[in-house]
Amino acid sequence: MEYRMTFKKNILCIGAGYVGGPTMAVIALKCPEYRVEVVDINEERIRQWNSDHIPIYEPGLDSIVRETRGKNLFFSTDINKGIQEADIIFVSVNTPTKTFGEGAGMASDLQYWEKTAHTIVENSTSNKIIVEKSTLPVRTAEAMERILKAGNRGIRFEVLSNPEFLAEGSAVMDLLEADRVLIGAHRTPGGLRAEQEIVDIYAHWLPREKIITTNLWSSELSKLVANAFLAQRISSINAVSALCEKTDADVSEIAYAVGSDSRIGHKFINASIGFGGSCFKKDILNLVYISRSYGLLEVADYWEMVVSMNEYQKHRFVQKIVKEMFNTIAGKKIALFGFAFKANTGDTRESAAIYITKQLLEEHAIVAISDPKALDNAKIDLKGMDNGVLYIPDPYEAANDAYAIAIVTEWSDFKNLDYERIFKSMKKPAFIFDGRNLLDHHKLSEIGFNVYPIGKTPLTHFD
């Protein structure tokens, strides 16, 4: 107990997930005078954070956790004690799409978030700053304040919004070299004082001009809008990819030509099998739901199309596989290279691979899945329906005797394989459907593959 007196402040984070873990590890690294504790109801997850095998794969995270854990970074399941001792509480629990009742399939499910609000009130014995780290509907802080005030025992809570913009697979770099940090607070003396405390944390490693401060509602809504804009770029280029396939235009050339306008830019404009991940779809649907609930139907429809286009792109990819393989894939082995929703993560939440696998299974294909980090999660995602699925860590083995390879995740490992060897081991004619435009298509064609990229003319050996 003694050592806690030496820390300047106690920071608590409720929720030890993909955001809570990395964010707090970096804060602990950069702010050694703060004590940072991360708590979770999930005992297994906390056990893993305290072990040699942390629960998420994120480049660079391992070493930061090793450096800080036990010094000023702690992982625990004792949520109540953590709350009592904290000066600042980040709430980073999951806020998935609601699956039941009013708003099912669209609105945010705020049950985990609300539970933490009640737990905070019940266990607080001193004033605290509460920071919304989770992505939440605009004006959620108002509800948080009502819950906190309802249990008032003379304690002051100041609620702030500090949404997280990190992307999985690059979380550590995104945190260390953030484009910006956003902090929203009430423009009252108490709000501004609390805001300064959060600014002080990030100012340990980021220049002050990268720390943006706004009113609470702008901060909450900016997070949903940022994700909607990013996802919109992918849906826009994916829509163009379908047109390219009809016209022999090349989507990569278009992305380069269009992106060279500095107002548009080159980043985040790669055509694909469609975006996945735990946030884009849920956050856009949330934006759609909020817009509709304010009676803004055109606004809602506008954003909803970003999701519809994404569903279309996933569907189109499977349709292409079936059509090009002579309209039947029943009994044929298809090697799926990748299952994670993007490279450098083991996360498979909302991965396009899940949809693609299910559709291929519906067509009675045998699906051999190979992914460097995501096979365990794939097994969970496909549990109960994986009759016809093979989980094979070695891509060469997955492709052996296969009729086709589908590139689903852009792991660089797949770029460096010996495709001559793979071609020899496959059934002929051998197909590659490159859902990420990852590989050297001309080289593959020279080897003998029939190559089907996204948004480009296929390279085939048929007359």
- Catalytic positions, written as ranges: 279
Q: Which of residues 260-319 bind ligand UGA (CB under 6 A)?
A: 268-270, 272, 275-277, 279-280
| Segment interacting with ligand NAD, rule: CB under 6 A, options 90-98, 175-183, 351-359, 371-379 | 90-98
Which of ligand UGA, ligand NAD, none has residue 230 at its interface (CB below 5 to 8 Å by kind)? ligand UGA
97 binds ligand UGA (CB under 6 A): no
Q: Minimal CA–CA distance to 242: which of 460, 438, 454? A: 454
Q: Report in angstroms how near the CB of residue 215 gets to ligand UGA at its nearest.
A: 21
Q: Report in angstroms how near the CB of residue 435 gets to ligand UGA at its nearest.
A: 9
Report, in angstroms and rounded to the nearest whole number, the Rg of the chain calculated over CA atoms: 24
Q: How many residues bind ligand UGA (CB under 6 A)?
A: 20
Residue closer to ligand UGA by CB (options 157, 303) is: 303
Map tokens 């956050």 to a residue: 283
* Residues 309, 314: Cα–Cα separation, whole Å: 9
The two tokens of residue 94 are 């999951």
* Residues 282, 300: Cα–Cα separation, whole Å: 14
* Residues 184, 107: Cα–Cα separation, whole Å: 22
168 binds ligand UGA (CB under 6 A): yes
How far, in Å, are 47, 68, 143 from residue 71 at the CA level?
17, 5, 36
Which of ligand UGA, ligand NAD, none has residue 115 at its interface (CB below 5 to 8 Å by kind)? ligand NAD
Contact by Cβ (8 Å): 238, 202: no
Instruction: Work out which of 27, 273, 279, 392 binds ligand NAD, going by CB under 6 A.
Output: 279
Contact by Cβ (8 Å): 88, 12: yes
| Segment interacting with ligand NAD, rule: CB under 6 A, options 37-45, 254-262, 267-275, 381-389 | 37-45
Contact by Cβ (8 Å): 176, 26: yes
94 binds ligand NAD (CB under 6 A): yes
166 binds ligand UGA (CB under 6 A): yes
* Residues 13, 46: Cα–Cα separation, whole Å: 12
Q: Minimal CA–CA distance to 12: which of 32, 42, 38, 31? A: 38
Binding residues vs ligand UGA (CB under 6 A): 135, 164-168, 227, 230, 234, 268-270, 272, 275-277, 279-280, 341-342
Binding residues vs ligand NAD (CB under 6 A): 14-20, 40-42, 45, 79, 92-95, 112, 115-116, 134-135, 164, 166, 168, 278-279
